[in-house]
Structure 1
């Protein structure tokens, strides 16, 4: 692949002042003595170092967008990093997939055009769906994560069940695609455009054939990919995309849901894709405000300053990731909350994984749940 100077220029990378503010706010740099977004950018655009495009640092960036929010030159660093990864290639020997590469392998299997999956067994008679209609629930990779991470005491399919339960409560029976593929988020951010486009084209065909006018998802990564990347590469999709928190913030506007317990204190973790990437901070908090008796406590870093969960794209799960997660979980513990709520399946998985550390688990006295799980549990 050619190093596309024009595309790099469009990220404003050449305007870098070398002020180092990006490195100052980077969650990875906070725990690593060698990682520096500024150094990676300068070495890459100047090609002044023989190892500029080598090493694990290219894959350690979380693309969390902390750097973008503070850059005085308005550099779109995460877009720059995505382009550099395209150039280097995800097959580079320095790119190490986490969990033995099993998630990456499953995603690549999903690019098979005529692959028939068995991913609907979780939809029992308790959950009402339809074969046609205006609403489509895009499940994402939850059926696979439920199997892969069951040992972590986390059950991602509970998010899917909760989503349908809430939609049914609102008199909506959504479509669920029996052969839906991964949205392609991880391929895109890891620089593998070929496989990203394969998955995107297959999903677009299925969604368009369904006739659905609105796609709802409980995954911020699916949300961003369906809404932003699909439109970027394929033009108008023909359907609206919403994260479930946005959808519920409107639909529950005039409703109040009494808690099944007398009171509950919670803190909310802003996922990077939902927050900094797409600017959605108020909707999840608005939904939580409809739970009568729930008190929301903000962590030290929240909204735009929220700290990433430490892993993205299943490419950089390291000791640094665990340190980032530990820092975030301790922030949540400091609020004295009963529950840490997030609205991203991966965030929940990564935080729960961090609690495998016995010493850390002894410190933490709250449960971790998704936004839709908390809402669904309190519906009559």
Structure 2
């Protein structure tokens, strides 16, 4: 959908969106307000034919501050669909490898999605709790800086097992479709969603857990828009662990000097898009003697990791990533924790161009490192 008539009527052209946009700080020609204004003047063609449409991070920093609640990420997404029809396409990063993997999963291909898990822990084909792994296992193979994405998936499975939970994991799971949707390719998104819904229904699961914020928000918000109310509960793993882990009889060892103080990167999809800010912080507080140092820009004001949907990775992206790393180092923290595989990948990649001494880790591997285990539930 385009902007509603009500939003158009109430747009005050205040410029808060442009003033809040991290892209506009690096690329002065980029302005959400100007893109909206051109649309209101019936000059959609200038938006659809320009590169600015693809520069938007869809990070929602503008939307959470907009006084009339204009959903600019949705504006960008729907206009990208129209731009594709006119031949205006995004620049794919990593030679389009991740897009190719996603596209292949729309077909009836034989997969080995759970092979990595057989040596790690226990899972089953049917049951009440489904662990939706997503594309993380592909990242380590496809990207030069995979960021330990498979390690993240392994850690989540081990933690669930130690809590006495044997989750469902499916060979028939597919990419969640997030990247296709936000790149204006709704057809691919719908095909992937249909296959995922079929796999989850076949498992009999009542709750689906997501380690990836993008998969979570896709199922929480986007798939219901296209397919109606879901027949299962959708939870991000931080929500589930923050609720269940304190009462699971698991204790934690004190944090080591090696990791030092820690800080936390709020992913855009988990934070501004889903409003999940406290569960990750609550989980970190389970570790004794941990020293948590908050970055100045946190929660709804957090800075994006610089790119989305594996498109338009530019000097602008690298500038934001280095800025964020400098902010993390400035807190005095030695370890930067995140709950998003893409945040970890992008920040790790950017760090290779610096001399900053900062550990970049995912929350689940970090928790598992300090989890005291006596073997009762394995």
Q: Shorter-chain TM-score: what band?
A: over 0.9
Give yes or no for the alignment of 1:137 onto 2:131: yes
- Residue from 112, 116, 125 that aligns with 2:110: 116
- Residue from 181, 189, 199 that aligns with 2:192: 199
Question: Displacement, 1:32?
Answer: 0.8
Equivalent residue of 1:58, what SS?
helix
Partner of residue 100, structure 1: 95
Give yes or no for the alignment of 1:69 onto 2:64: yes
**1: distance between equivalents of 2:28 and 2:129?**
48
**2: distance between equivalents of 1:18 and 1:58?**
19
Equivalent residue of 2:292, what SS?
strand
Question: Displacement, 1:81?
Answer: 1.4
Check 1:175–1:88 CA distance in 2 against 1; reply closer, same or farther (3 A cut): same
**Could you list the per-position Cα deviations for residues 30-88 of structure 1 after superposition, in whole angstroms to 9, with x for gaps in the alignment?**
11121111111111232337533212210110111110111122211111111111222
Check 1:197–1:91 CA distance in 2 against 1; reply closer, same or farther (3 A cut): farther
**Could you list the per-position Cα deviations for residues 271-326 of structure 1 after superposition, in whole angstroms to 9, with x for gaps in the alignment?**
00000011000110011111112111100100110000011011120000000101
Partner of residue 27, structure 1: 22
Contact in 2 for aligned 1:11/1:75 (Cα 8 Å): no
Contact in 1 for aligned 2:335/2:359 (Cα 8 Å): yes
Contact in 2 for aligned 1:266/1:297 (Cα 8 Å): yes
- Residue from 363, 368, 374 that aligns with 2:366: 374
Give yes or no for the alignment of 1:337 onto 2:333: yes
Give yes or no for the alignment of 1:309 onto 2:314: no
Q: How does 1:1-380 map to 2 (within 5 A)?
A: 7-9=2-4, 12-48=7-43, 51-89=46-84, 92-112=87-107, 114-149=108-143, 151-152=144-145, 154-254=147-247, 256-259=251-254, 261=256, 264-357=260-353, 360=354, 362=355, 364-379=356-371, 380=373
**Could you list the per-position Cα deviations for residues 72-121 of structure 1 after superposition, in whole angstroms to 9, with x for gaps in the alignment?**
22211111111111222278344211111111111111111x11112222
**1: distance between equivalents of 2:28 and 2:256?**
46
* Structure 2: gaps spanning 5 or more residues: 374-378
Check 1:11–1:279 CA distance in 2 against 1; reply closer, same or farther (3 A cut): farther
**1: distance between equivalents of 2:168 and 2:267?**
26
With the length of structure 1 as denominator, give the TM-score of the two structures.
Answer: 0.93
With the length of structure 2 as denominator, give the TM-score of the two structures.
Answer: 0.93
Question: Displacement, 1:131?
Answer: 2.2
Equivalent residue of 2:38, what SS?
helix
Check 1:209–1:332 CA distance in 2 against 1; reply closer, same or farther (3 A cut): same
**2: distance between equivalents of 1:160 and 1:250?**
20
* Structure 1: gaps spanning 5 or more residues: none
Contact in 2 for aligned 1:26/1:66 (Cα 8 Å): yes
Check 1:126–1:97 CA distance in 2 against 1; reply closer, same or farther (3 A cut): closer
**2: distance between equivalents of 1:64 and 1:239?**
27
Check 1:372–1:320 CA distance in 2 against 1; reply closer, same or farther (3 A cut): same
**Could you list the per-position Cα deviations for residues 235-290 of structure 1 after superposition, in whole angstroms to 9, with x for gaps in the alignment?**
12211111111011011234642236267310000000000011000110011111
Contact in 2 for aligned 1:11/1:77 (Cα 8 Å): no
Check 1:260–1:19 CA distance in 2 against 1; reply closer, same or farther (3 A cut): closer
Contact in 2 for aligned 1:55/1:94 (Cα 8 Å): no
